Structure 1
Amino acid sequence: MRRRSDTCEMKGDIRIHGASSTIFMSTSYSTNSSWTIKPYARKGDESAMQNITSFTIKTSQERAETMPECTKTHNVPAVVFSVGGYSGNHFHSFSDTIIPLYATTRRFNRQVRFLVANKNPRWINKFKELLDKLSKYEIIDIDQENEVHCFPSMIIGLEKDDYKELNTRSMKDFTKFLRNSYSLDRPTAIKLANGSIKTRPRLLIVSRKRTRIFTNVKEVVTAAEETGFEVIVTEMNANLNKTSRLVNSCDVMMGVHGAGLANLVFLPENGVFVQVVPLGEMGWMAKTFYGEPAKGMGLKYLEYKISGSESSLIDQYPLNHSVFKDPYSIQKKGWEAYRSVYMDKQDVTLDVVRFKETLVKALQLLCL
């Protein structure tokens, strides 16, 4: 299986000098060797990888003679990974770092030390509860370390499968881990009796402030309430303690394709996730980033693809423009050109009559 990252697992006499980004390992092989590795799970993405610390791994047959002297010795394994790249994006934080880190280190039962490259204090603080559940030790900012740290074993980089996002072998185990980490009360969503709604299920509408905004959110709320939902409208908060509790308190979550939808990881199992897909032939992204992952988490998934009349692009381009007729021609111009049109300029005015059909389906799925 192809991977989106280079990884290396070593056991023995392993020493790391962070300031020089060098890892030393003694070996019984007759020849010395060295290679470099960037510990971030988007290999091949030049934009993401350009500022990731590159570590040089040197193996040597001669032990202490050619290896720097240990100044700090640890008796637990080490995991070296980067929080650079796209870590400022909520979706990528989960998909490229948190989930791979969970998959890599859960087996150590917190007896592991994290060595973080490209350390971002805000990122570390945001995910502190999760990091503390995976390691009982203080994180080492390895880029700044002039000490020589010695370990009995080390994993460099976090494995991630190609073509899969928000994914690990058991996403249900991961979401259970999240609920335990944030002390969330609801393992499962409400179960409605067929034809009877005694308690209104809660619908969370994820709003946005800059792009891909719901321009008629009041009408959408009214339609949802008429369908039988209690409705909450909010932008996703950077505070994961608050966000996780809010999302977990809901049975259905909906929003326009974007990073904030990664908070679906906090929905209770058997909940419903509704992704509104803007114009731009985003079918592959919608399915890969959220559709398939939602199913892996034990959620019911619905997709609503907007029409041209529901997009604000109709006010910016003539109907015969390639933006409508041939989105692939925009894609061929590169990601920046594509994003500037379909991600940065597009808002959504939902056809509430048509969308109400999706809301009814969501309600029906809570009966299953």
Structure 2
Amino acid sequence: MLAFREFVRAAYPLLSPGASITLPCKSGGGGMRPWLMLILRGRTRQFVNEGAIMDTIERAGFEVACMDEVASWADVGAVAREVDACDVLVGAHGSGLTNMVFLRAGAVVVQVIPWGKMEPYGEGFSGALAAHMGLRHVMYSIAAEESTMYNRYGEDHPVITDPDVFYRNGSNAKFYWREQNIWLNTTRFAPTLQMVKRMRRE
């Protein structure tokens, strides 16, 4: 994976960390603050409070840019340059995180894990690959209350209280992969952002 990441960076080429940010972004005031790319999914596992998330990222001391997961494939070269200019990539578990291949060595990938015991998938699909590519990986597992299924089905429904039931009957993908979106608790998420800032200084 390390050789593949280096191959991709050479192919575009991504030789300089100074590429300009041109994707839709909301700047928090300039200066030398690190850049964070927030990946917005197009269908499932969407961030339904993206504005609040962006505000929290800015208050944590980052400049924030957004990438639409679907539109990102329209010009892969341009996206590669934008991601290369970032220090941190944040996104919900899904294919959008494959953009980590454009990051520089030592950058941080923050994977938001949806509700429903999805941590093993997060580690297998993204965490292990990030480590092999010379990147640092952080998982933030949402609480039940941060899943839109919590309000849809209620706190006592087995989809919230007993995910194992749905893994046994084979319907886990229906609920946890395709039905839920994420209302990120920005207060709960803020310490993760501070941890990422400390990681960048190490």
Q: 2:57 maps to which residue? A: 224
Cross-structure match for 2:124: 288
2:162 is matched with which residue? 326
- Letter of the 1:202 partner, please give it: W
* Residue equivalent to 2:149: 313
- Paired AA for residue 340 in structure 1: K
Query: How many Å apart are 1:198 and its aligned residue?
Result: 5.9
Mapped to 1, the partners of 2:68 and 2:174 lie a distance apart of: 22
Matches within 5 A, 1:132-171: 171=1
Runs of 4+ off more than 2 Å: 185-188
- Equivalent of residue 177 in structure 2, options 319, 343, 348: 343
How far the C-alpha of 1:351 sits from its partner, in A, is: 0.9
SS state at 1:320 partner: coil
Taking structure 1 as the reference length, the TM-score comes to 0.49
Question: Does residue 1:262 correspond to 2:102, yes or no?
Answer: no
Q: Percent identity between the aligned chains?
A: 35
Tell me the distance in 1 between the aligned counterparts of 2:128 and 2:158: 29
TM-score by length of 2: 0.88
Query: What SS does the aligned partner of 1:316 have?
Result: helix
Aligned residues: 188
> Given the alignment of the two structures, is residue 183 of structure 1 paired with residue 6 of structure 2, yes or no?
no
- 1:235 aligns with one of 65, 68, 75: 68
Larger RCO of the pair (alpha carbons < 8 Å, separation 6+): 2
Greater percentage in helix: 2
> Cα offset for 1:361?
0.8
Indicate the residue corresponding to 1:363 in structure 2.
Answer: 197
Distance 1:271 1:250 in 2: 8
| Contact 1:257-1:277 at 8 Å conserved across structures | yes
Query: Does the CA contact (< 8 Å) of 2:17 and 2:85 recur in 1?
Result: no
Answer yes or no: is 1:209 the counterpart of 2:39. no
Q: Secondary structure, in 3 states, of the residue corresponding to 2:173? A: helix
Shift of 1:187: 6.8
Q: Is the 8 A contact 1:186 1:268 kept in 2?
A: no
Deviation at 1:231, TM superposition (A): 0.2
Q: Is the 8 A contact 1:179 1:187 kept in 2?
A: no
Structure 1 residues 249 and 187: CA distance shift in structure 2, 3 A: closer
Q: Counterparts of 1:212 and 1:233 in 2: how far apart (Å)? A: 16
Could you say what the CA RMSD is over the residues aligned between the two structures, in angstroms? 1.7
Q: Which runs of 5+ in 2 are unaligned?
A: 19-29
Amino acid in structure 2 at the alignment position of 1:173: A
Deviations 1:107-159 (A, max 9, x none): xxxxxxxxxxxxxxxxxxxxxxxxxxxxxxxxxxxxxxxxxxxxxxxxxxxxx
1:328-355 CA-to-partner distances (Å, cap 9, x unmatched) read: 2101222xx2221111111111111111
- Summarize the alignment of residues 112-123 of structure 1 with structure 2, pairs less than 5 Å apart: none
Gaps of at least 5 residues in structure 1 are: 1-170, 189-196
Larger Cα-atom Rg: 1
AA in 2 matched with 1:224 = I
Partner SS for 1:366 = helix
Counterpart of 1:358 in structure 2: which amino acid?
A: T
